[in-house]
Structure 1
Amino acid sequence: MYLFKKCISAVVTMLLVTIVVFSLFQMIPGDPILSKMGENRDPALEAALRSEYGLDKPAPVRYFSWLAGLVRGDLGISIRYTQPVSALIAQRLPVTLWLSLLAFLLTIAVGIPVGVLAARGRNKGTGFVFNLIVQLGMAVPPFYVAMLLILVFCIGLGWLPVVAYVPLSDGFGPFLQGLLLPAVSVSLGAAAVTARYTRGSFLDQMGGNYVRTAVSNGIPERRMLYGYVLRNALVPIITILGLLLVSVLTGSMVVESVFSIPGLGSLLFDAIKGRDLPLVEGITVYISAVVIFGFLLLDVLYGIIDPRIRLKGESQ
């Protein structure tokens, strides 16, 4: 029942996203047909193109037609590329997902251990240094970090080429190596946020009565910290990671343009520049679906880590 309610909530959220996305992009200034035609203004061709892409119909009719296509997996035809939107997304999506996944794993691998170490060393005068590093990491935007990394590792040290992206077809190792600097650029701020909340959550749990009881019963400190304290501290941390998932995904799309990575970010930028509404709407909905599905997985993970959350959801 808990999982069923979460799935229904995800479907309703996705429906609301389609309404908002369609409505907002109808207000984008400029005409996609005129942008496609350029200076060759042929009224007959213009009318034919509007009819072909359904732009001659009222907005409500276009929305329900577009929604029906989404249900069937048909995102329409790109005005600029004259190809199915789903095919264009399928070409670029794996690159963005790999970059986002690598950045997200770096966020977890760095943020949680650093936060735990900072919590354990709270009485050793490390709090000021930790807060300074975290504030710096949170303040610097990913695209600026990307440019700094290029200046240091590509131009200054010459360890990597400026455009280091290698297609997956050329080998998994070189492909991941080309995504390393972009992933570090995206994960720096997210790891700082994760470390900060991990430290706070860990300290809150360490002050609990069950910790004092465990210590008095002679439970080893390592088992108590990582078997009990960290497990209970993970629930609020997962909430933050769910929010950071959106930040990592959008940050990856921004950083793609800095490193010339052919992902969804560069495709979306070109689509907006060319006023390709079907492509812009398709990419936006696709990203929203990925994010909503990610939150659904996190809700399931909540129930696994803390069964009380699942039982509470089933009783409501």
Structure 2
Amino acid sequence: MFRMVLVIDQSLLKYEDNRRKFEEAKRLLELIRYYYGIPYEVWYVDEVKTERIYEEMLKPKSRLIRENSEILCSMGIKVYVETVARKFKSRSGYIYLHYSLLVLYNDEVIWAGWSDEVLEFLKALVGKGVTLLDSLKISIRKGASVPSTLTESNLLSNLASLLEKDGYEVFINVRHNMNAGEEPTYLFTPDADIIAIRENEVLGFEVKGYRRVRDRLEPAPPHEDIGEAIMYLANPLYFNYMNTNYSGGVFDKVYLCYPKREDVEGIRSIVEKCTPIGLLVLEDSVKRNNWRAGMILEAKRNPLLNEEKKRIMIKEKYVLLRYAYAGTYKGLLQRYLTQWYQS
């Protein structure tokens, strides 16, 4: 049902920067196809084909594309919330589709992005999987909207503020820097929603907000939540420093976080008996202005912790700031401005 289309003007591939971005996009699309079974195509276009795509596929879906951009922004994915005309067409009438990505559902475009949005979206899709696509609207119709208090971006912001108040350095939506040439070289799978560091302690938080699925408001599936939180125990899965690969995880403890108390009722016994994961209800944390006030289940020490790997991560934590969506030092203003813009 879902399909990706990478649109490229082949004449621009003679430039090294364009060629590098194109190859990176194809690499991510291959990963998405391999892990999630989502097919993709590459369309090589000229000016005539570009105009047809714009007029026949994008322009009629302008409102849907904008609304799905808002959803992606609320998930912490940096895309432009604009109409199709403002995003893809200049004032002089030139159409910018020479390096763009179309997301199709049953052959209808539901989202489109260009330039930096392409890699931003694909990296998020690698980390979040099909659940990201399930969060998007497939048509314009009146349905349940996600209250701001239940969105993942709002939950991340609230939890980050409480952790910072408790003396932690906080890094939000940490992904990977594998192609950046900086050490340590790492890959978080899934993305680390929040990494909190205080002295010699490193905590990981997987945060789950509500989402719109078709025309219903739903929490994320419990089996998916638990699986992603368990993956944190060995995260980052790839970690290389000074030509040495390190196994194991960097988190002392890992927490799975939900908006409301009823969200954890069905999974508490499973998590408690089968995993070392902790459970946190952010509604209670926010009310009492203390992140630990929402503790439903305290996390146990990570059995896969690699102390040397953790030591390196703490020592080189400045690298996290460059590849996180936001962090203690550079991200507070960005985070609040983003929330203000979305509201």
- For normalisation by structure 1, the TM-score amounts to 0.25
- The structure having more radius of gyration, on CA atoms, is 1
Bigger share in strand? 2
Of the two structures, which has the highest relative contact order with CA contacts closer than 8 Å and spacing of 6 or more?
A: 1
